[in-house]
Amino acid sequence: MDSNKNSPESDLHTEATTSKLSEEIVQLQLKAFKTQMNPHFVFNSLAAVQYFITSGDKKASLFYLSIFSKLIRFYLKHMNKETVLLTEEKEMLNAYLTLQKLRYSNQFDYSISQNKGEEDKTAVIPSFILQTLFENLIEHAIYNQYKNYMLEIAFQTFPKKVLITVLFHYDDSLEKKASYIPHYRKQLVKWQDQIRQLNNCKNYTIKKKVTFNENCNGKGGVLTLNLPNLS
């Protein structure tokens, strides 16, 4: 019989491990929130509102400010939550992409296809995952001056996972060589660290894969993201 199985030392070790895991999860939530609410995004959003106001476009400024306020409310509502309903996350993503499309004067377009089954309505995914990923896709395209950039986003819900597929295609322009590391790339590094920590702490097995293709009509590729369905 193992005399140490229920020893005080064993209990203390278990308690310390649980406490450390809880602390890591709290740090993850804080990092994820900071990623969404990074100063670069907030300042640029406010600068865009200021631009619309000073240019006399009252309708655009009010529309932009309304969507920005909606995003802020979403972030604050989910700040202390580890998970979010997929339906809410889709609404957030749609608002975010609308905001960016307006900010960049329609330099890109997007579509989101929605599942209509019951699983889609009840699906739950880890919070604060999608925005940074799409921020990277958009900022990369704008930075490299891609033309006719299009994102086709599809969600597929399964009992144990949610599969997100993004088809992206564009007409390539003269690509400029990067002389510095753009901000969006720094954010992606933080996002990758966040995913690694989530997989280690929560055993989520989140996976991202990108494949590229090129043909006579332009360039593009496919991004797939596997998230756990935590419902």
Specify the pLDDT at position 200.
86
DSSP 195-212: HHHHHHHH----EEEEEE
Compute φ and ψ for 196, nearest 5 degrees. Answer: -60, -45
Q: Using the predicted structure, report yes or no on whether residue 206 has a pLDDT greater than 60.
A: yes
Specify the pLDDT at position 112.
94
Residues 15-66 have pLDDT tens digits of 555 555 556 655 655 555 555 566 677 778 888 888 888 888 888 889 989 9
Which residue did the predictor score with more confidence, 218 or 21?
218
CA distance 83 to 210: 25
Q: Burial, 195: exposed, middle or buried (Cβ in 10 Å; 0-12, 13-18, 19+)?
A: buried
- Averaged pLDDT for residues 171-185: 57
- Averaged pLDDT for residues 185-195: 76
The answer to whether the beta carbons of residues 81 and 122 sit under 8 Å apart is no
Q: Using the predicted structure, report yes or no on whether residue 11 has a pLDDT greater than 60.
A: no
Q: Using the predicted structure, report yes or no on whether residue 225 has a pLDDT greater than 60.
A: yes
Q: Which residues contact 102 (CB under 8 A, 6 or more apart)?
A: 48, 60, 63, 64, 67
If one counts every other C-beta atom within 10 angstroms of the C-beta of residue 103, the result is 20
Average pLDDT, the chain: 80
- Averaged pLDDT for residues 115-137: 84
Specify the pLDDT at position 191.
80
Specify the pLDDT at position 109.
96
Specify the pLDDT at position 209.
93
pLDDT above 70 covers a percentage of the chain that reads 72
Q: Using the predicted structure, report yes or no on whether residue 197 has a pLDDT greater than 90.
A: no
- Averaged pLDDT for residues 165-180: 70
Q: Using the predicted structure, report yes or no on whether residue 139 has a pLDDT greater than 60.
A: yes
What domains are defined for the chain?
A: 8-228 (3.30.565.10)
Specify the pLDDT at position 212.
85
Q: Using the predicted structure, report yes or no on whether residue 187 has a pLDDT greater than 50.
A: yes
pTM, 2 dp? 0.79
Q: pLDDT category, 179, cuts 50, 70, 90?
A: very low
Specify the pLDDT at position 45.
81
Residue whose structure tokens are 């999860």: 25
What's the token pair of residue 66? 């309304």
- Averaged pLDDT for residues 164-175: 81
What's the token pair of residue 106? 């329609």
Which residue did the predictor score with more confidence, 35 or 205?
205
Q: Which of 156, 148, 125, 159 is nearest to 227 (CA)?
A: 125
Outline where 55-149 has alpha helix (H).
58-78, 86-103, 118-122, 130-143
The answer to whether the beta carbons of residues 65 and 48 sit under 8 Å apart is no
